[in-house]
Amino acid sequence: MGASGPDAVQPVTVHRPARAVAPARRWSVEAVQALLDQPLNDLLFEAQTVHRAHFPEGDIELATLLSVKTGGCPENCGYCPQSAEFDTGVKAGKLMEVDEVVGAARAAKAAGATRFCMGAAWRAPRDRDVEKVAALVAAVKDLGLQTCATLGMLEADQARQLRAAGLDYYNHNLDTAPEYYGDVVSTRVYQDRLDTLAHVRAAGISVCCGGIVGMGETPVHRAGLIAQLANLEPYPESVPINSLVRVPGTPLADSEPIDPLDFVRMIAVARITMPKARVRLSAGRQQLGEAVQALCFLAGANSIFYGDKLLVTGNPDVETDVQLLRKLGLKARRVANEESCA
């Protein structure tokens, strides 16, 4: 072939935007912003490259979330239908009994879940609540499932008690950037979240911590959230990225929805900055559709909440998820009791 034939490969120079160099394990907001601003294909390529270096098998972890105590929460998180301040139709309930929770955990395991998360709508549990949740944790752990709980703010001794009962993970989200936090919730401050995360870490419990986008935050706030998460020492083992489910009656019900491709960008940047974390597609997955979810998996998401309900909002039904994973050639992770997802 001549120089002008199809075999003539011309060297291609890829112009990448200048990126602030982050010192090892520390991410500035500007550095995260530079990642978010990349051309989408460059960002996806980088995220998928990082992903394959750390998760070569391409498996998807299935997690199931059960609301063990619903509604009536005294906090005023602007996105949450369980706050007692908002008229959302969610009725306050009592903490579920052990046998009810075990039944749900058994069903989740049979459906393929490997981790079972129990959520309770509390500002902070009382010591007697922690005792009861510890019994739930021990019972779920006995089924051979990883255990996770999200109960609000924890004191150091409460975290130790839950660890002793067999708690593997504690979920406590940072929600958004510190600068935007006061626009979302006013009944606590960012430092409260960081303190609970520190207590959880000190107790030897793995951390599940992420945030929510589509709450009216700016792109800089989104970069700020990722920088906060990535700069935790160490960064969380699980990073749920939620797209706001706009529930009527909550203050954020009329927020402008996030562009789906901006959501994909958030997943990719979470993957790049926290390479060993399980990045989880969480609330709002139902609204994304199959094609955007596929892009999220390409961007490095490797965990989903699985089941018909995510606390009190809808989630794609189990059969739809099974079909989607099959269509994409992804494998559900069914290994229980792995020590760490990283």
Given the rule CB under 6 A, which residues bind ligand SF4? 73, 75, 77, 80, 82-83, 121, 152
DSSP code for 148? E
Please tell me whether the peptide bond between 23 and the residue prior to it is cis, using omega within 30 degrees of 0: no
| 170: nearest Cα among 205, 136, 194, 199 | 205
Nearer to ligand SF4, 82 or 196 (CB): 82
Per annotation, catalytic residue among 148, 209, 296, 341: 148
Nearer to ligand SF4, 73 or 174 (CB): 73
Secondary structure (3-state) at 109: helix
Active site residue 77: yes
Nearer to ligand SF4, 70 or 114 (CB): 70
Give the rounded distance of the alpha carbon of 131 from its chain centre.
Answer: 26
CB 235 within 8 A of CB 175: no
| Dist. CA 165–CA 148, nearest whole Å | 11
Per annotation, catalytic residue among 115, 208, 278, 341: 208
Secondary structure (3-state) at 6: coil
Q: How far is the CB of 70 from ligand SF4 (least distance, A)?
A: 9
Helix (H) or strand (E) holding 227: helix 219-231
Q: How far is the CB of 168 from ligand SF4 (least distance, A)?
A: 20
Per annotation, catalytic residue among 115, 222, 271, 280: 280
Active site residue 80: yes
Q: Under 8 Å CB-to-CB from 36, ≥6 apart: which residues?
A: 43, 219, 222, 223, 265, 266, 269
Q: How far is the CB of 28 from ligand SF4 (least distance, A)?
A: 28
The residue type of 144 is G
Per annotation, catalytic residue among 77, 209, 296, 341: 77
Angle at 175 between CA 169 and CA 181, to 5 degrees: 140
Active site residue 209: no
Per annotation, catalytic residue among 117, 209, 296, 341: 117
Active site residue 296: no
Q: How far is the CB of 66 from ligand SF4 (least distance, A)?
A: 14
Q: How far is the CB of 171 from ligand SF4 (least distance, A)?
A: 10
Nearer to ligand SF4, 173 or 293 (CB): 173
Nearer to ligand SF4, 32 or 283 (CB): 283
Q: How far is the CB of 13 from ligand SF4 (least distance, A)?
A: 48
| 124: nearest Cα among 176, 199, 183, 52 | 199
DSSP code for 145? -
Angle at 229 between CA 41 and CA 331, to 5 degrees: 55
How many residues in total does the chain contain?
A: 342
Nearer to ligand SF4, 141 or 246 (CB): 246
Residues with catalytic roles: 73, 77, 80, 117, 148, 208, 280
